[in-house]
Chain A
C-alpha cells in the first residue's frame, strides 16, 4: 500500500520536543509541501489534549505530524477533518488487529475494546474563513508493554513484532485515502462512516454529566456538524447535546 503525497517528504528525528511544534517552526521558514511528515522516536513535550502529555518511551510508538492544506474547508467545517483522520487511524489499527473491536471514541481517540491505543492533536492555521494549514499530530502505541490500565498497544493486543517504517507507510496510505475522500466533498460518507465506527453508537451505556455531577444511562444518537455529541437519556427519552468537557464516558 503506497501513498501518493503523504510521507513523500519525510524527516525522522531521534528525539524532539514535539513533532507538531517542529512542523509549525518549519512553516515559518519555508513553503512546506502538503503531505510533509515529521516523525520522532521520542518526544519530550508531546501533547495530548491541552495540558495532558502523551506518555511514551523511545522508539516504542508512532509519533508523527503531517502537514495538510485543507483550504477547501471553512473554519466551521473543521470537525470533518478530525472525523476523516480518526476514521483513517481506526481503519489502520483495524487492518493490523482484524479480530478486535477497534472504535473511535468521541471525538477522535482510537480504542481497542475499552483501552486507548491512539490519539491525535490537530492544529490549524487559518486564513480568512478557511483553513490554510493543518498540522495533524498522531500518536499510536506500538511496542509499549508498560502502559496505563486504560491504554494498550499493538504488541500487547497481538503479540507480534512490527516494522516501524512499514507501519508508517500503511498509516500514510489510510490517511491519504480518507483525506482525498474529504477533498472530493464526500462529507455524507465521512459522517456516516464516523458514526458507524463510534464507540457506544446506538448502545445504552453509562456517562457522567459534568454540570449536574450525575451519571446517566444513554444512547449516542449522533454527532452534530460542530462535533457536539447527541445522547438520548435512556430513562426520560430526552435528547441532550454535549460539548467536550460536559460529558465523560464511564
Chain B
C-alpha cells in the first residue's frame, strides 16, 4: 500500500463517519481511528496508526496526514555483516549458492559465509522469509554492518 492509497483510505474513513477501520494485507496492517471516539485507545499491535483528521461529514482533504506517514512503507528486514571479511555466496566455488533471490528461507538457515584470515563464518538468517535482494557480489570484501541481504518476512 502506498502513501496515496493511505490518503484515500483516510478520506474514505472521514466521509463514512465510522470511528475505526482496520485493514490487513499480507504483513501490512493499518488502523485508522477518528478523534471523535470516546474510548481509550486500545493497545493493538500494528505497523502504523494513522489518525484521521476529522470526523466531519464535509469532504476533508486530510492535509497534514501524509507528512505523518513514514516515507518508507517497507516491512523488509536487512541482514548485515557482523564482521569485516570476504563475502561468499557458495559453500565452495563448485557448489550452488546458499540462497538465491526469490528463495524462501527459514530462521537459522545459512545464507552466506564471511571469511577472514582463513576462519569461515556461517551467517544465519534471523527471521524466516523470502530473499528479495542480494546486495553484495560473491567473493567481494564486506565491512562491518554492511547490508548483505534484504528479506521480506
Question: Which A residues form the contact surface with B (CB < 8 A)?
Answer: 47, 49-51, 75-76, 78-79, 81-82, 107-108, 120-126, 129, 226-228, 243-244
Contacts and interface: CB of A to CB of B under 8 A. Distances in A.
A120 B119 CA distance: 10
Nearest to B144: A76
Q: Give the interface SS of chain A, mostly helix, strand, loop or mixed.
A: mixed
B119 A81 contact: yes
Interface in B11-36: none
B123 interface: yes
A124 B116 contact: no
Interface stretch (B2-10, B49-57, B58-66, B81-89): B81-89
Given A75-B83, A76-B83, A129-B82, A50 B115 contact: yes
B70 interface: no
A151 to B, nearest CB: 18
Interface residues of B, number: 16
B118 interface: yes
Contacts of A76: 83
B42 interface: no
Given A126-B82, A126-B123, A51 B118 contact: no
Interface of B: 82-84, 88, 92-93, 115-124
Given A50-B88, A75-B82, A75-B83, A123 B122 contact: yes
Nearest to B94: A51
A226 B117 contact: yes
A124 B120 contact: yes
A226 B122 contact: no
Contacts of A228: 117
Which of B82, B93, B120 is the most central at the interface, judged by chain A CB atoms within 10 Å of its CB? B120
Contact of B118 (A108, A126, A226): A108
Contacts of A120: 118
Contact of A122 (B82, B92, B120): B120
A125 B118 contact: no
B123 to A, nearest CB: 7
Which of A81, A121, A126, A129 is the most central at the interface, judged by chain B CB atoms within 10 Å of its CB? A126
A75 B121 contact: yes
A79 B119 CA distance: 8
B82 A50 contact: no
Q: Which 3 pairs from chain A and chain B are nearest by CB?
A: A227-B117, A123-B120, A124-B121
Contacts of A81: 119
B92 A125 contact: no
A10 B35 CA distance: 69
Contact of A107 (B92, B118, B122): B118
A127 B106 CA distance: 16
A9 B119 CA distance: 24
19 contacts: A50-B92, A50-B120, A51-B93, A75-B83, A78-B116, A78-B119, A82-B118, A120-B118, A121-B120, A122-B118, A123-B122, A125-B124, A126-B122, A129-B82, A226-B116, A227-B117, A243-B117, A244-B117, A244-B118
Nearest to A244: B117
A33 to B, nearest CB: 20
B48 to A, nearest CB: 29
Contacts of B119: 78-79, 81-82, 122-124
A82 B93 CA distance: 23
